[in-house]
Amino acid sequence: AQTVTQSQPEMSVQEAETVTLSCTYDTSENNYYLFWYKQPPSRQMILVIRQEAYKQQNATENRFSVNFQKAAKSFSLKISDSQLGDTAMYFCAFMKHGTGNQFYFGTGTSLTVIP
């Protein structure tokens, strides 16, 4: 079974600063995908960034980037130049490549951006 662990239940960051959210996972699979989703107070799940495990290069999306360490099974999210709109719950998620296609979500990190 796949497990996803987010060890930081709550975090805060000053506006315009940088923050890193941690995520580790446990799997025996070699081909998989990793995702970070944002859930603001509206509860709508929004894709932030994703990474294919076979790609060594870390994914980036504007102010969001990941540090993917496959051997360590670590997938952290860095948010640069934090904005008030980044305040949300952030979920790390794992998806096996191939059959099933279901997400395994971590427990989430509540991020607050302080003005």
Partner 1 sequence: GAVVSQHPSWVICKSGTSVKIECRSLDFQATTMFWYRQFPKQSLMLMATSNEGSKATYEQGVEKDKFLINHASLTLSTLTVTSAHPEDSSFYICSASGDPSGYEQYFGPGTRLTVT
- Site residues, partner 1 (CB under 8 A): 33, 37, 42-46, 50, 91, 95, 97-98, 100-108, 110
Q: Name which of 17 and 29 has its Cβ closer to partner 1.
A: 29
Measure the CA–CA gap between 73 and 45, rounded to whole angstroms: 24
Q: Name which of 64 and 105 has its Cβ closer to partner 1.
A: 105
Minimum distance from CB of 7 to partner 1 (Å)? 14
Number of H helices, E strands in the chain: 0, 12
What is the dihedral angle through the alpha carbons of 24, 28, 33, 35, rounded to the nearest 10 degrees? -20
Minimum distance from CB of 16 to partner 1 (Å)? 27
Helix, strand or coil for residue 106? coil
Q: Name which of 16 and 47 has its Cβ closer to partner 1.
A: 47
